[in-house]
C-alpha cells in the first residue's frame, strides 16, 4: 500500500468520524467545528486523488469562509432548545442509502480518479466553460446582497 | 483501491447527512447535515467525473455551496431574531 493510499484511508476515517460528530454532537458549536474538520479531511482526500487545485479552493472558500461563517453565527447566538425530528425513519433512510452504496460498489466497482492540473482547469474555466465562472460570480454577488438584506430587516 | 475508498466515504457521508437532516427540526442543524451531504456528493463527483471537467464543475459547486450557506444562515438569524427559536415548524406559521 502506497503512502498516498494510507493518507487517503486515514482521511476517509477522519471524514466519516467528523460527519458522525456533526450529526450527533449535542452542542451546535462543536457540530460546526466538526464540519470544519470534515471539510479539511475532504480536502486531503481531493489532494490524494490528484485534484490539488480543488483541494486548496475547498479549504480556502468552503472551510475558510463558509464554515467559519456558520461557526461565528452559531457561536454568537445562544443555544436554542433541541428540536428533535423523527429518528427511526431517519436511521432507516440512512441505512438503506448506505446499503445501496455498498451494493453498487460490490457490483460495479469504482473507477480510479483521474486528477487535473491547475493549468488544465484554468484554461477550461477561462476558455470554453466561461459561463460557469460567470454564473458562480453572479450567484456569490447576489448572495452577498441577500444576506445583507435579510440580516438588516427588522 | 483509492476509487473504492472515495466512493465508500462519499456514500457514508451522504447517509450520515440524510440521518442528520431527518432527525432534527433545527434550521442550523439541518444546514450542517446538508453540508455533510454536500461534501459526500463532491467526493463522488470528483471520483466519477474526473479530469479537468470534473474539477471545473467541483469549483463551481463549492462556490455555489458557499452562496447557499450565506442565504440559509441569514434566514436562520432572521428566524431566531423574530421568534427566538430555530425550529423549522415555526417557519410554517410565518406569513407575508
The answer to whether residue B36 sits within a structural domain is: yes
CATH assignment of the domain containing B37: 1.10.287.3510
Q: Looking at the partner chain, which of B35, B58, B80 has a beta carbon nearest the beta carbon of A77?
A: B80
Residue, of A19 and A88, whose pLDDT is higher: A19
In chain A, residues 91-110 whose CB comes closer than 8 Å to chain B: 91, 93-95, 97-98, 100-102, 104-105, 109-110
Q: Mutate which of B10, B61, B66 to disrupt the A interface (most A C-beta within 10 Å)? A: B66
User: Distance of CA A47 to CAs A9, A42, A54, B58, Å?
Assistant: 13, 9, 8, 13
- ipTM beyond cut 0.95: no
**pLDDT for res A136:** 84
Percent of chain A with pLDDT over 70: 94
**pLDDT for res B10:** 92
Name every residue whose Cβ is closer than 8 Å to that of residue A143 and which is 6 or more positions away in sequence. Answer: B66, B67, B68, B70, B71
The answer to whether residue B38 sits within a structural domain is: yes
| B24: three-class secondary structure by DSSP | strand
Residue A153 scores a pLDDT above 70:
no
CB atoms inside a 10 Å sphere around CB B61: 20
Q: Looking at the partner chain, which of B14, B20, B86 has a beta carbon nearest the beta carbon of A80?
A: B86
The tens digit of pLDDT for each residue in B13-62 reads: 999 999 999 888 888 899 999 999 999 999 999 988 878 888 988 988 99
The answer to whether residue B37 sits within a structural domain is: yes
| A40: three-class secondary structure by DSSP | helix
Look-up: residue for cell 454564473? A135
In chain B, residues 14-73 whose CB comes closer than 8 Å to chain A: 14-26, 28-29, 31-33, 35-36, 39-40, 42-43, 46-48, 50-60, 62-71, 73
**pLDDT for res B79:** 81
The answer to whether residue B52 sits within a structural domain is: yes
**pLDDT for res B16:** 93
Strands (E), A2-154: none
Residue in chain A nearest B60 by alpha carbon? A136
Q: How many residues does chain B have?
A: 96
**pLDDT for res B93:** 67
**Closest by CA position to B73, among listed A138, A85, A148:** A148
Name every residue whose Cβ is closer than 8 Å to that of residue B96 and which is 6 or more positions away in sequence. Answer: none
CB contact under 8 A, A12 and B42: no
Q: Looking at the partner chain, which of A45, A91, A146 has a beta carbon nearest the beta carbon of B9?
A: A45
Letter string b/e over residues A106-142, b meaning 16 or more CB atoms within 10 A of that residue's CB:
eeeebeebbbbeeebbeebbeeebeebbeebeebeee
**pLDDT for res B39:** 95
**pLDDT for res B14:** 93
The answer to whether residue B84 sits within a structural domain is: yes
The answer to whether residue B11 sits within a structural domain is: yes
Across A39-54, average pLDDT = 92
Please list every residue in chain A whose beta carbon sits closer than 8 Å to the beta carbon of residue B65: 62, 66
**pLDDT for res A124:** 87
Q: Mutate which of B57, B63, B75 to disrupt the A interface (most A C-beta within 10 Å)? A: B63
Q: Domain total for chain B?
A: 1
Across A112-135, average pLDDT = 85
The tens digit of pLDDT for each residue in A92-108 reads: 888 888 888 888 877 87
Look-up: residue for cell 440524510? B18
Domain that holds residue B15: 2-90
**Closest by CA position to A65, among listed B67, B39, B78:** B67
Name every residue whose Cβ is closer than 8 Å to that of residue A84 and which is 6 or more positions away in sequence. Answer: B23, B24, B25
Widest distance between CA atoms in chain B: 53
The tens digit of pLDDT for each residue in B55-93 reads: 988 988 998 898 888 888 888 888 888 877 788 777 776
The answer to whether residue B77 sits within a structural domain is: yes
The answer to whether residue B95 sits within a structural domain is: no
The tens digit of pLDDT for each residue in A49-96 reads: 889 999 999 999 889 888 888 888 888 877 666 667 777 888 888 888
Continuous segment of H or E residues that includes residue B57: helix B51-83
- Going by pLDDT thresholds of 50, 70 and 90, the confidence category of residue A23 is very high
Amino acid at each position: 500500500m502506497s503512502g498516498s493510499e494510507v493518507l487517503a484511508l486515514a482521511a476517509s476515517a477522519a471524514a466519516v468520524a467528523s460527519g458522525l460528530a456533526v450529526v450527533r454532537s449535542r452542542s451546535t458549536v462543536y457540530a460546526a467545528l466538526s464540519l470544519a474538520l470534515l471539510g479539511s479531511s475532504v480536502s486531503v482526500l481531493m489532494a490524494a486523488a490528484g485534484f490539488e487545485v480543488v483541494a486548496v479552493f475547498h479549504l480556502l472558500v468552503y472551510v475558510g469562509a463558509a464554515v467559519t461563517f456558520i461557526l461565528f453565527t452559531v457561536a454568537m447566538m445562544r443555544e436554542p432548545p433541541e428540536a428533535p425530528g423523527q429518528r427511526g425513519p431517519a436511521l432507516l433512510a440512512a441505512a438503506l442509502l448506505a446499503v445501496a452504496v455498498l451494493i453498487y460498489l460490490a457490483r460495479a466497482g469504482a473507477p480510479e480518479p483521474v486528477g487535473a492540473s491547475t493549468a488544465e482547469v484554468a484554461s477550461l474555466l477561462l476558455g470554453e466553460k466561461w459561463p460557469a465562472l460567470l454564473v458562480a460570480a453572479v450567484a456569490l454577488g447576489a448572495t452577498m446582497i441577500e444576506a445583507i438584506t435579510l440580516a438588516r430587516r427588522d | 483501491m483509492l476509487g473504492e475508498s472515495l466512493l465508500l466515504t462519499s456514500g457514508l457521508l451522504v447517509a450520515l447527512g440524510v440521518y442528520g437532516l431527518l432527525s432534527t427540526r433545527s434550521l442550523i442543524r439541518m444546514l450542517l447535515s446538508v453540508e455533510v451531504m454536500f461534501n459526500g456528493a463532491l467526493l463522488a463527483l470528483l471520483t466519477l467525473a474526473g479530469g479537468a471537467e470534473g474539477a471545473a464543475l467541483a469549483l463551481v459547486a463549492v462556490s455555489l455551496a458557499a452562496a447557499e450557506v450565506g442565504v440559509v444562515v441569514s434566514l436562520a438569524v432572521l428566524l431566531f431574531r423574530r421568534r427566538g427559536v430555530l425550529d423549522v415548524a415555526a417557519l410554517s406559521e410565518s406569513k407575508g
